[in-house]
Amino acid sequence: MLPQLILILGALLAFWLLSNWFARVKPSVAARVLKRAGYAALVVLGLWLVLTGKLAGLFAIAMGLMPWVMRLARLHGLYQVLRRFGIQMRGGAPSPGKASQVETRFLRMELDHDSGRLDGDILEGTYGGRRLSQLSEAQAVELWREVQADSESARVLEAWLERAWPEWREDGWREDAHPAQPSKSGMTMDEAREILGLSATAGADDIRAAHRRLMLANHPDHGGSTWIAARINQARDLLLGG
């Protein structure tokens, strides 16, 4: 009982001392000290886990959680891509056990949060009444041509095509589909800033930094979409005047 009482009193004394110290010190100094203290605590925790043999158990738990983390990251990434290119999903940000929907003139799309599956109903046109997942690649590209009359439908369908057939532009459809690099006339300055997540006051350095950050996450060599990478490159070029 006495050791526990000593620990409690020690903790209360430490809390009181820290409170007084925080009240006197500048916020910037406090933040720097807390940051260093956090690093030191992590080092001590790591050493304790190694010495007590509990590191392996913690690693096993982390590996068990990894599939869930990857699933959430994949869903969040898709949601951010759809939102960044002007597609608002009903149902809010992705979370397990739910689904988000978006409806345009030609399509009614649904994103399942558990599986990450994106599918939808075709509302009008040649393939009206069918599911996107029922179409062949050739039929999907034909539908893509049809929906060009509605820009939101085209963006939604392109997002789905990038998941279903990542190389759909580079396959047999390049001569009919527009190239992976969109035409400059198809993007405004406001759209370019939205794609890069920038404000109207952003300078050249901000533009390059935003482009570099987005390309690290969306580069085709790292599993990203060629179309999205092309949009990011076009936004940078448009804002930099080149």
Q: What is the mean pLDDT of residues 128-139?
A: 91
Residue, of 165 and 20, whose pLDDT is higher:
165
Residues 149-158 have pLDDT tens digits of 888 888 888 8
Confidence of residue 106 (pLDDT cuts 50, 70, 90): very high
Residue 103's DSSP bridge partners are: 108
Please say if the pLDDT value at position 122 is more than 90.
yes
Q: What is the mean pLDDT of residues 64-88?
A: 53
Q: What is the mean pLDDT of residues 163-187?
A: 55
- Tell me what pLDDT residue 128 has: 92
Q: Is the pTM of this model over 0.85?
A: no
Residue, of 140 and 185, whose pLDDT is higher:
140
Please say if the pLDDT value at position 134 is more than 90.
yes
Instruction: Write the burial class of residue 110 (CB in 10 Å: 0-12 exposed, 13-18 middle, 19+ buried).
Output: middle
- Tell me what pLDDT residue 156 has: 83
R_g (Cα) of the chain, nearest Å = 25
- Across 34-48, 88-102, 113-127, 133-147, the highest mean pLDDT is recorded for 133-147
**C-alpha dihedral (78, 79, 84, 89), degrees to nearest 10:** 130
Confidence of residue 33 (pLDDT cuts 50, 70, 90): confident
Instruction: Name the strands in the sheet holding 99-103, side by side, starting at the edge strand that comes first in the sequence.
Output: 99-103, 107-112, 118-122
- Tell me what pLDDT residue 226 has: 72
Confidence of residue 232 (pLDDT cuts 50, 70, 90): confident
Please say if the pLDDT value at position 196 is more than 60.
yes
Secondary-structure breakdown of the chain: helix, strand, coil percentages, each rounded to the nearest 5? 65, 5, 30
- Tell me what pLDDT residue 54 has: 65
Please say if the pLDDT value at position 61 is more than 80.
no
Q: What is the mean pLDDT of residues 22-49?
A: 72
